[in-house]
Structure 1
Amino acid sequence: MASIKDPDVGEKFNSKLEEIRTKLLTQAMGEVMNEATTEFSQAHKQYMKSVLDTCSKKCREDETMFETIQAYMEDLKLKRTTIKEMLAEVPEIEEDIGDKQNNKEYLLKKIEKLRLEQAKGRELVDLQNKANKARLKNLNKIKEIFQERLSLEIRKIQGEKLQFIFRNINHKNPESAYTFLLRINEHGVYQIITCDPPLQHAAQLERKLQETNNFSAFLANIRKEFVALHNATKTV
């Protein structure tokens, strides 16, 4: 009982109770803090995992985007190089086009010139054909006259040649033939091809015919030459 009445007992008891209360409170707070820390840690881990997943996804997307951009840059570089090469070829292409244009104009002028020359050639051929027809017509008239008066026969030979046959030169043999072959060349010039028998002055008679274009006189002179040749042969 003496101890109960001790004035320090109450204070010690209170102190002890405060110590117990503090200890219990500290323990409770520790448990609460541990539980809160655990929950916070788990939440933080979940959050960080989510952040890391998001960052990883973003990094992959960025890498893909960078690869795409790099591919675009490479393609753009290649296109720029191609364009540069094409631009470098432009002067050569323009020069080639200019040469082809000049060549085209030259060819067109040449074609036009050839066309005009061809037209002129056709015109000359037509004129020559008309002249030859006129000469043949004249020969037909001469043929009729000489057939009656000089016993001349004219035959058309293949190749636009004419054979002139004189008879009644040899009175002992009136049917004996004295002939020469004549043609009109591409220039419309008379040419003696052969004479049977050969005439010494055939070239001079041909040249005179070309100068005078007097066919009647030419035939008369040819006959005279055949007559003179016959008389000379008869005398011999």
Structure 2
Amino acid sequence: MLQQLSVGLIFFGAMLINAITGFAGNLLAMPGTIQLIGMTDAKVVSTIVGLFSCFIIAMVGIRSVVWHEVLKITLFMIPGIAIGFYLFYTLDLSFLLYIYGTVIVLIAVKSFFTKQGQYNMSLPVFLLVMMCAGLMQGLFVSGGAFVVIYAVHTFKSKEEFRATLSVLWVVLNTILLIQEGIVGEITPQNSLLSFYILIPSLLGVYLGNRLHHKISGKGFLLLSNILLLVSGIVCFFKV
């Protein structure tokens, strides 16, 4: 019971943040959840909870969604997701998580010293970022940190940023859920746990939706960069 309560608290905080920013929910939830219930169950729970939570966030801001960006990002992430699926069953994921954490911390630190604003990312950089995003989404349901590298320089407002990324996570989590079902990772136990975890998660979404309107655009970008840094650091927790 204590284990389930701990996972519930983790997802409450993670989905509250996710509702404010449109990303970082699974980034923040996965490391601690992996420790508590194991890699596979953590992946399934994160996929299910993330799917429902992001669906609600997306519906709230549906008019701000940039649909062609959802399609563009999804298509270019799919190759990385496919590779992530393969590596999940072949590599030492603890070691890979440490590498992931290192990369995210470096990205976050760089973001603090980089002037934000719209610009056209070069095609090679875009392809690399989307490949990395897909890879981490397939491995840890946590591709958000790399997507944000592109998103913070692409969307005109925090509303576009948040709504578009939320729709993206609905699409990607649906793909992951289908894959998890095909390989038999979804069980009655982790499905029931996901149902229980949805309760505090949706409460976090509700509170996050209210707080979202109180944060300025500048504060929104600062929070996004801070979350990148925190997300990278928590990857070094014992797995």
TM-score (norm 2): 0.22
Structure holding more strand per residue: 1
TM-score, reference length from structure 1: 0.22
The higher radius of gyration belongs to 1
